């Protein structure tokens, strides 16, 4: 049994539906993977620094996975209620954590910083990242969630990222075949800015 | 070659100038528009940004009309995709230094002198047409303009920073060469290179 925390800013005016759908997708996968996994949900109302500062220490430094679906920037993850994980204020709370952030830019400063403070592994984007909408929304979510799913299925963190990149490349080819090259080009950008820091050989079973 | 519009904004050029006849032979009947008032020329260009436009712009206009540099700067405020050739009767050394700086910094793509012969001017227009054809931004502009208007207004992409763009807005960002517009051009170019490399690799694999 692994412990998951899922932050999702479903109340965001523009991308709330995307963050909600991303969370629904991974929640369904986690349940299917093993009903015994423990999932703690952090919706918009709790995506605040105050909540994180109280909640994370309550995990007592046990190994856990933290997944974030929200906006972000170089030094923070944010929601409609403000910044909830930010450098340097509360990055020390992620010791022994596997942090999976699908927000923009968090791989620039925040990711390396949490790893320097004891976070086991960080996977995220080091630049702007894009969400495809319309008919390609599910494809975009599948791309975003690919590495965490692969990791849970037994790939090392590094191999999970490699599989995610392979999946994004296949999705790009499919979009180009369907004459959606412009959308494919934004996915290609996501591919280029996906990064992993920390222990790349870590396996999911070490979180059970 | 008839999909270009060549707009000559010049107050002294006669309607029957050989340049106009030669350009119409090469680029098709109706492809050349001579406009003698600079403000009208500017308005025309800005109202027709959905076409591939090459502007041949005189620098000096009669008092009361915006100068050629002013017209040029106003075009650049709206788009970097229009190809602008500056045509001057002055010697380059006589052009105001600030005007010259503005032309260089805002990407004037050619400088013609009234002493240049017809062939040289035609060659410059050919080069402009070629560059318009081969720029990523122009290809993107063509593609977006070919989409139904209804589709162009639908949300197309959202950055996870929270900015949503429809196709019209993407085109606007590319025209204005904003960071997002330039990133979009770069994304397309990199994707094209990826596709080329993959094709090449798959061909090699078949041998």
Q: Measure the CA–CA gap between A2 and A100, rounded to whole angstroms.
A: 15
Residue, of B88 and B16, whose pLDDT is higher: B16
Walk me through the domains of chain A, giving residue ranges and CATH numbers: 3-207 (3.40.50.1460)
Q: Strand A130-132 to strand A97-101: parallel, antiparallel, or no bridges (unpaired)?
A: unpaired
Closest residue in A to B188 (Cα–Cα)? A185
> Per-residue pLDDT for B207 more than 80?
no
Could you read off the pLDDT of B172-188 as tens digits, one per residue?
898 888 899 999 999 99
Rounded to an integer, the average pLDDT of A174-193 is 94
- Give me the DSSP letters along B89-113: SS-GGGS-HHHHHHHHHTT---EEE
**Best interface-test mutation with A: which of B141, B142, B160 has the largest number of A CBs within 10 A?**
B160
> Per-residue pLDDT for B206 more than 60?
no
- Give me the DSSP letters along chain A: --EEEEEE-TT-TTTHHHHHHHHHHHHHHHHHH-TT-EEEEEEGGG-SHHHHHHHGGGGTT--EEEEEESEEETTEEEETTEEEEETTTTGGGGTTEEEEE-SSSTTTTHHHHHHHTT-SEEEEESS--EEE-GGGHHHHHHHHHHHHHHHHTT--HHHHHHHHHHHHHHHHHHHHHTT-HHHHHHHHHHHHHEEEEE-TT--GGGG-
End-to-end CA distance of chain B: give it in Å, rounded. 39
Could you read off the pLDDT of A109-143 as tens digits, one per residue?
999 999 999 999 999 999 999 999 889 999 999 99
pLDDT attached to residue B205: 58
Residue, of B108 and B77, whose pLDDT is higher: B77
Domain residue ranges of chain B, discontinuous segments joined by +: 4-134, 139-206
- The answer to whether A183 contacts chain B (CB < 8 Å) is yes
Residues near A52 by beta carbon (within 8 Å), at least 6 away in sequence: A42, A84, A85, A90, A93
pLDDT attached to residue B177: 82
Question: Which of B154, B155, B159 has the CB atom closest to A128's CB atom?
Answer: B159
Interface of B with A (CB under 8 A): 140, 143, 154-164, 167, 170, 183-184, 187-188, 190-191, 194-195, 198
Could you read off the pLDDT of B36-53 as tens digits, one per residue?
999 999 999 999 887 889
Lowest mean pLDDT among B32-36, B110-114, B175-179: B110-114
> Per-residue pLDDT for B75 more than 80?
yes
Could you read off the pLDDT of A50-103 as tens digits, one per residue?
999 999 999 999 999 999 999 999 999 999 999 999 999 999 999 999 999 999
Q: What is the mean pLDDT of chain A?
A: 96
- The answer to whether A93 contacts chain B (CB < 8 Å) is no
Lowest mean pLDDT among A41-45, A167-171, B49-53, B203-207: B203-207
Rounded to an integer, the average pLDDT of A47-52 is 98
**Best interface-test mutation with B: which of A15, A18, A186 has the largest number of B CBs within 10 A?**
A186
A120-152 exposure pattern, b = at least 16 Cβ within 10 A, e = fewer: bbbbbbbbbbbbbbeebbebbbbbbbbbbbbbb
- Which band of pLDDT confidence, cut at 50, 70 and 90, is reported for residue B80? confident
> Per-residue pLDDT for B120 more than 70?
yes
> Per-residue pLDDT for B203 more than 50?
yes
pLDDT attached to residue B204: 65
Rounded to an integer, the average pLDDT of B62-79 is 88
Q: Which residues of A touch B163 (CB under 8 A)?
A: 14
Q: Which residues of B touch A12 (CB under 8 A)?
A: 162
> Per-residue pLDDT for A196 more than 90?
yes
DSSP state of B51: S
- Which band of pLDDT confidence, cut at 50, 70 and 90, is reported for residue B1? very low
Which range scores top for mean pLDDT: A141-150, B142-151, B165-174? A141-150
Residue, of A166 and B141, whose pLDDT is higher: A166
Site of tokens 């170089």: A74
Q: Measure the CA–CA gap between B46 and B76, rounded to whole angstroms.
A: 10
Q: Which residues of A touch B183 (CB under 8 A)?
A: 128, 189
- Using a cut of 0.90, tell me whether the model's pTM lies above it: no
Lowest mean pLDDT among A181-185, B58-62, B187-191: B58-62
B4-134: which CATH topology? Rossmann fold (3.40.50)
């Amino acid at each position: 049994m692994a412990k998951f925390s899922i932050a999702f800013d479903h109340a965001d005016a523009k991308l709330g539906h995307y963050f909600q759908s991303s969370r629904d997708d991974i929640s369904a996968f986690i349940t299917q993977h093993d009903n015994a996994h423990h999932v703690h949900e952090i919706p918009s109302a709790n995506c605040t620094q105050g909540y994180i500062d109280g909640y994370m220490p309550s995990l007592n430094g046990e190994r856990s996975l933290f997944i974030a679906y929200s906006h972000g920037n170089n030094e923070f993850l944010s929601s409609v209620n403000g910044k909830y994980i930010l450098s340097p204020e509360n990055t020390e709370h992620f010791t022994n954590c596997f942090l999976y952030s699908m927000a923009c830019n968090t791989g620039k400063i925040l990711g390396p910083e949490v790893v320097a403070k004891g976070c086991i592994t960080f996977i995220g984007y080091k630049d702007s990242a894009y969400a495809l909408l319309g008919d390609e929304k599910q494809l975009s979510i599948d791309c975003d969630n690919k590495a965490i799913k692969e990791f849970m299925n037994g790939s090392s963190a590094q191999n999970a990222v490699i599989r995610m990149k392979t999946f994004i490349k296949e999705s790009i080819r499919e979009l180009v075949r369907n004459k959606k090259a412009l959308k494919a080009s934004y996915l290609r950008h996501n591919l280029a800015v996906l990064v992993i820091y920390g222990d790349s050989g870590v396996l999911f079973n070490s979180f059970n | 070659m008839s999909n270009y519009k060549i707009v000559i904004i010049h107050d002294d050029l006669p309607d029957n100038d050989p340049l106009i006849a030669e350009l119409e032979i090469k680029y098709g009947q109706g492809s050349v528009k001579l406009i003698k008032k600079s403000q009208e020329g500017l308005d025309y260009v800005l109202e027709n940004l959905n076409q591939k436009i090459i502007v041949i712009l005189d620098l000096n206009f009669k008092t009361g009309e915006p100068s050629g540099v002013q017209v040029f700067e106003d075009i650049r405020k709206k788009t970097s995709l229009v190809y602008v050739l500056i045509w001057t009767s002055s010697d380059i050394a006589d052009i105001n230094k600030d005007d010259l700086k503005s032309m260089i910094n805002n990407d004037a793509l050619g400088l013609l002198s009234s002493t240049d012969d017809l062939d040289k001017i035609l060659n410059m227009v050919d080069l402009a047409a070629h560059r318009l054809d081969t720029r990523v931004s122009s290809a993107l502009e063509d593609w977006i303009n070919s989409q139904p208007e209804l589709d162009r207004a639908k949300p197309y992409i959202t950055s996870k920073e929270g900015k949503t763009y429809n196709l019209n807005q993407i085109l606007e960002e590319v025209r204005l060469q904003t960071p997002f517009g330039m990133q979009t051009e770069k994304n397309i170019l990199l994707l094209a290179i990826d596709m080329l490399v993959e094709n090449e690799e798959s061909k090699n694999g078949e041998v």
